[in-house]
Structure 1
């Protein structure tokens, strides 16, 4: 292997010459977009490149192809556990396909969201993934009009490419579980009514109630935000009126809401899993580590992330709205039939 001049940057030509192959062969062997050839020649090229200290300028090569191999991810906030986990899975799925994912946060204001999207587009990303939640959000329509590749994740507007969990099935599984335990006094704390997730989870919950011939009580259907304070406030409303006029079970439309309900129940000396059955949604890692582990509907975030990336990098496949099935994970918080109904 011929040495490279000291101080000179190692080029692809240097790697090809030292490996005894053409420049095009060396380029294919070092192309990070694919899984890489398993041939002996390709392995030799990669070995030589490492020994010489060659660093591929993937940004420059992508620009020559008219792309940056970069995707922008827009989330309301990374302090939300589900959003943080979602971005991690999106980043991993993008990397597996030879892309880099960068994130921007937008809060809940539509103007802030548009500005964050433009910031990402100014960096020449090849597409946008939107994890923002509002159904009245105008950004997806604007992106469609401009022909910007994009996908919605964990929610859908019914038109843009979307990778979502089947939230109606998830809501059904949660409440069906409570019905099967013998409950009829079931409250539902949904997500915001401006989100597709909140609407679909409530629809599934209502379906399970209807099948069991249980009429939902209006005062036990509470639309809330997805934060822990929203869950605490809903818990106070449902549990603070005395033991004779409260539900025996609550379905909370995400695990953070459920944790707020737990805090309210503790304040009123109500034991989760003994006096009150509780089911959450998303099955974030903390759910299984609570003092009373939380029954939750697990959403396959990794599968959803991979689907969202593919909707951008491999467009044109049907359907453009793809749903992943959730799974109920029973734990102590929903109790057992011997405890319920009271």
Structure 2
């Protein structure tokens, strides 16, 4: 027998009205039975409504419910993982910024897997957050378009799609500063551990590297650029590959401190000295890098400034095209992992 329940397509959004029609009850009844703030009814009708809502894939529309009940003061934050020190530092800065603005944050993680940010967003929206801050933007992802269509307030942080409200560091400048530092020390063969292509932050730092090399009139050999994740093991693997090149680099710029730490470990295991044999620069200036046996030169990101700007953008009703993407200026912190090179 053919079911008379609606069969929404993947792209359509199931509404309270859809659930009401399928359950044969009023819209107000559905709203009452599905309102998590109300005492949970255990009546047969309530149980049936909740079951039908699950079957249809109903997700509460936070933008509509917010108009009815006002703000909750909660802001959802989506990060790849909190075991990544960079993301933990970002979340801590966002939590502090939230407190200063009379709000508080809750977090969801995605392991940086494609599509996981969409599930995390739905989870947070069901919790009733007033808006989202996402550090998971990926090249080609359509989540931001979906959030715009649904009227969900959101801001991108650390990564950007180039069009939505974003609070980021100037990654191109940071990559330039790191590479220029090595050039000024006399290095001409500079390897790059480039990070994942899907992240705008990595692409910006690669662009900065290329700009500095071109400005100095230096050749960029394709074999000197190794892709990676933002993980330690990936950095170690990239460094080993760079050291197999016959005319190997005398310096390496890793676009993330974790990959730089992995690179340092691999170089030491190969019997090479940092910085006597290979100078090394990382990015983000996480706390541990200044306490390594050889303190790591790194590019520092002003996380507090990025977090504050993210909340300002989230709160603003409108922003001009010139103010849609806020860019914080990084700075280079020289330490013991880099030294002058005499060719």
Is the pair's TM-score, using the shorter chain for normalization, greater than 0.5? yes
Select the residue among 122, 126, 130 that pairs with 1:122: 126
Select the residue among 107, 111, 114 that pairs with 1:110: 114
In structure 2, the partner of 1:341 is 342
For 1:63 and 1:149, how far apart are their aligned partners in 2? 13
Matches within 5 A, 1:234-273: 234-241=238-245, 245-273=247-275
State the SS of the aligned residue for 2:115: helix
Matches within 5 A, 1:1-342: 66-241=70-245, 245-318=247-320, 319-335=323-339, 337=340, 340-342=341-343
For 2:317 and 2:80, how far apart are their aligned partners in 1? 25
Q: Is the 8 A contact 1:255 1:296 kept in 2?
A: yes
Q: Is the 8 A contact 1:154 1:164 kept in 2?
A: yes
State the SS of the aligned residue for 2:239: helix
List per-residue Cα deviations over 1:22-46 (Å, max 9, x = no partner).
Answer: xxxxxxxxxxxxxxxxxxxxxxxxx
State the SS of the aligned residue for 1:334: coil
Q: Is the 8 A contact 1:144 1:160 kept in 2?
A: no
State the SS of the aligned residue for 1:278: strand
List per-residue Cα deviations over 1:46-89 (Å, max 9, x = no partner).
Answer: xxxxxxxxxxxxxxxx9986110110001111111100110000
**CA drift at 1:232:** 0.5
List per-residue Cα deviations over 1:91-115 (Å, max 9, x = no partner).
Answer: 0000100001000111222332211
List per-residue Cα deviations over 1:258-314 (Å, max 9, x = no partner).
Answer: 011111101111110111110000000001000000000000011001111111123
Identify unmatched segments of 5+ residues in structure 2: 1-65
Q: Is the 8 A contact 1:282 1:298 kept in 2?
A: yes
Q: Is the 8 A contact 2:81 2:87 kept in 1?
A: yes
Between 1:132-141 and 1:84-93, the stretch displaced more is 132-141
State the SS of the aligned residue for 2:283: strand
Q: TM-score with structure 2 length normalisation?
A: 0.78
Q: Is the 8 A contact 1:107 1:113 kept in 2?
A: no
Q: Is the 8 A contact 2:137 2:156 kept in 1?
A: no
Q: Is the 8 A contact 2:137 2:161 kept in 1?
A: no
In structure 2, the partner of 1:55 is none
For 1:315 and 1:182, how far apart are their aligned partners in 2? 50
**CA drift at 1:165:** 0.0
Number of aligned residues: 276
For 2:79 and 2:163, how far apart are their aligned partners in 1? 19
Q: Is the 8 A contact 2:228 2:234 kept in 1?
A: yes
Q: Is the 8 A contact 1:186 1:251 kept in 2?
A: yes
**CA drift at 1:116:** 1.1
User: What's the Cα RMSD here?
Assistant: 1.5
CA distance 1:268–1:110, change in 2 (3 Å): closer
For 2:206 and 2:69, how far apart are their aligned partners in 1? 46
State the SS of the aligned residue for 2:337: helix
